[in-house]
């Protein structure tokens, strides 16, 4: 008789603005069976498949050591609050129940694939998330999605830097973009975004998604760039963004930013040649809209 899988979850307390860094750190664990991250208030739970032939207590010690080593590489100070072990059927049910459809605007709704049939929306974006980021539940995804709806023009070419699940790339296409080029430094994210393109019946002629680092990627001339990434990555690349957008007086939408970051990012953007257009805020998080 086949035994059901066991899952081990490690719940860490850390600053919310480091959540995406923590996900990047987890992506370093290439020799482990990481299956997802669930997000709470100031905490993340990282889930693994337990080794079927290894004592659970040994697996917990081994995985926790690897996790904390990965966090240290990103200078993340995280404290493990508790660990939990659960059976496959319970974990799957809890995971799916935790992700509800999210309304981004009057026209746009992001829904997990298993609830897609229950959703009626002019623009329905179906996501099969491998991690919680990019499901629409984070404020920055909703802010960026709403700004895309307002700024995408028919047949525009957009670049989505740090695409994650591909949700912003899909929204841009659904809002009329002619082509979207998207990339992510995480190979898992690239695979997940390609799966989500298929779920949304996106023609591959209209989109390219691939693995790349933002510091080495050569941005093409384009009409718009979305970058829902870390503040430091945004500031480091503003000159690169401007060169890619200048020819078309294009649009830059950036997030992954807290309200305390606004003055600094706007200053750097002005120095790079951007004109500030607007700020959107939800809770402590903001998205900024600039024009080249």
Least confident of 80-84, 166-170, 267-271: 80-84
Rounded distance, CA 37 to CA 47, Å? Answer: 6
Average pLDDT, stretch 139-159? 94
- Pick one of 3.30.70.100, 3.40.50.300, 1.10.510.10, 2.40.50.180 as the CATH number of 6-96: 3.30.70.100
pLDDT score of 219 more than 70: yes
Residue 219 near residue 240 (C-beta atoms within 8 A): yes
**Which fold, 101-291?**
Rossmann fold (3.40.50)
Average pLDDT, stretch 278-291? 93
pLDDT tier, 1 (very low <50, low <70, confident <90, very high otherwise): very low
Q: What are phi and psi of 30, to 5 degrees?
A: -70, -20
User: How high is the pLDDT of residue 9?
Assistant: 87
Whole-number Cα distances in Å, 26 to 51, 52, 72, 88, 179: 18, 21, 11, 21, 31
pLDDT score of 94 more than 50: yes
pTM of the entire structure? Answer: 0.72
Residue 10 near residue 59 (C-beta atoms within 8 A): no
Residue 158 near residue 180 (C-beta atoms within 8 A): yes
Average pLDDT, stretch 45-73? 84
Of 47-61, 77-91, 150-164, where does the model show the most confidence?
Answer: 150-164
Residue 99 near residue 137 (C-beta atoms within 8 A): yes
User: How high is the pLDDT of residue 220?
Assistant: 95
Report the DSSP pairing between strands 157-161 and 224-228.
parallel
Rounded distance, CA 127 to CA 115, Å? Answer: 10
Domain ranges of the chain: 6-96, 101-291
Least confident of 2-11, 130-139, 156-165, 226-235: 130-139
């Amino acid at each position: 008789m086949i035994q059901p899988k066991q899952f081990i979850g490690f719940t860490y307390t850390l600053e919310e603005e480091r959540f995406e860094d923590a996900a990047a750190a987890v992506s370093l664990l290439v020799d482990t069976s990481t299956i997802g991250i669930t997000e709470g208030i100031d905490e993340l739970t990282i889930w693994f498949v337990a080794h079927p032939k290894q004592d659970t207590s040994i697996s917990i010690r081994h995985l926790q050591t690897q996790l904390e080593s990965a966090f240290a590489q990103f200078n993340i100070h995280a404290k493990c609050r508790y660990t939990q072990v659960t059976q496959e059927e319970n974990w799957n049910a809890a995971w799916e129940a935790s992700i509800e459809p999210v309304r981004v605007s009057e026209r746009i709704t992001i829904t997990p694939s298993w609830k897609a049939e229950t959703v009626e929306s002019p623009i329905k974006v179906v996501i099969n998330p491998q991690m919680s980021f990019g499901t629409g539940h984070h404020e920055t995804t909703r802010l960026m999605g709403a700004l895309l709806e307002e700024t995408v023009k028919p047949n525009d070419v957009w670049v989505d830097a740090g695409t994650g699940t591909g949700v912003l790339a899909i929204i841009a296409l659904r809002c009329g973009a002619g082509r979207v080029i998207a990339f992510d430094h995480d190979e898992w994210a690239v695979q997940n975004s390609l799966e989500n393109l298929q779920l949304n019946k996106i023609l591959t002629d209209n989109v390219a998604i691939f693995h790349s680092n933002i510091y080495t990627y050569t941005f093409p001339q384009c009409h718009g760039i979305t970058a829902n990434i870390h503040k430091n990555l945004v500031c480091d690349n503003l000159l690169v963004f401007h060169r890619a957008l200048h020819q078309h007086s294009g649009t830059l939408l950036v997030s992954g930013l807290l309200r305390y970051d606004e003055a600094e990012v706007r200053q750097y953007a002005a120095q790079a040649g951007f004109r500030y257009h607007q700020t959107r805020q939800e809770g402590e998080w903001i998205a900024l809209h600039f024009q080249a």
